[in-house]
Amino acid sequence: MHINPTLLLTLAATATAAPQFTWPWGGGGSSGGSGSTTNTANDITNKAPCKALTVIFARGTNERGNIGSVIGPPLRSALQARLGADKVNYQGVPYAASAAGNANGGGNGGSLMVSLAQQALQQCPSTKVILSGYSQGGSVVHKAGTLLTASTPIAAAVLFGDPANGSPVANVRNLKQYCNSGDRVCEAPKSFATTAAHAAYGRNGNAEDAAAYISGVTGVV
């Protein structure tokens, strides 16, 4: 997949120059909160018991922890509510998620995501792996797709507020993308401004719909 570098540079400049956006649920701001049970998930790296489903999530720019707060935690909660906590492992991608990272598709986030997927399948060969990301995290998923091989099968990808909305994820057949009306990061014409619509994915039914999609495409019920 090719993403116009001019658009990515515009996104980086906008994220740096625009007024600070107040994220709901305590997200955004400087990175941190690595010990937070709300904004952090480490089931793969902590070698949690094997479960039917493993979700690897990349947070958006400047979100805290490794799964952020806009849609990372709501998606985890929706999956656990639908399938049961005993069927879902959840892992955040520990990449920088900085404003500058928008210009190069999330920096090393793609390679880190692939490494986590490989680790998940090595530890639990029968688990179904889902790649997911929000905002810059969507770029991370796209980059991860280009690095995947047949030895790392991915069941599906689910993206929210993806700057490359409408583009496929390489080497991933099943793809679900969410783009809120008025979200200028993913909706044309793109200005990459951080509007309220860009922060609404966790409270407009998207998490529950995504959980239903993941259940359906993987057969995990």
Residues recognised as catalytic: 135, 183, 198
Task: Give the phi and the psi of residue 131 in degrees, each rounded to 5.
Answer: -100, 135
Distance in angstroms (rounded) separating the CA atoms of residues 217 and 42? 24
Rg (CA), the chain: 16
> How many Å apart are CA 117 and CA 148, to the nearest integer?
9
Residues 6+ apart with CB under 8 A from 177: 158, 159, 160, 162, 165, 166, 186
How many Cβ atoms sit within 10 Å of the Cβ of residue 72?
Answer: 33
Residues contacting 35, CB < 8 A, separation 6+: none
Cβ proximity of 142 and 158 under 8 Å = no
CB neighbours of 124 closer than 8 A, spacing ≥ 6? 50, 51, 54, 89
The β-bridge relationship of strands 53-58 and 128-134 is parallel
Q: Please give the DSSP secondary-structure letter assigned to residue 56.
A: E
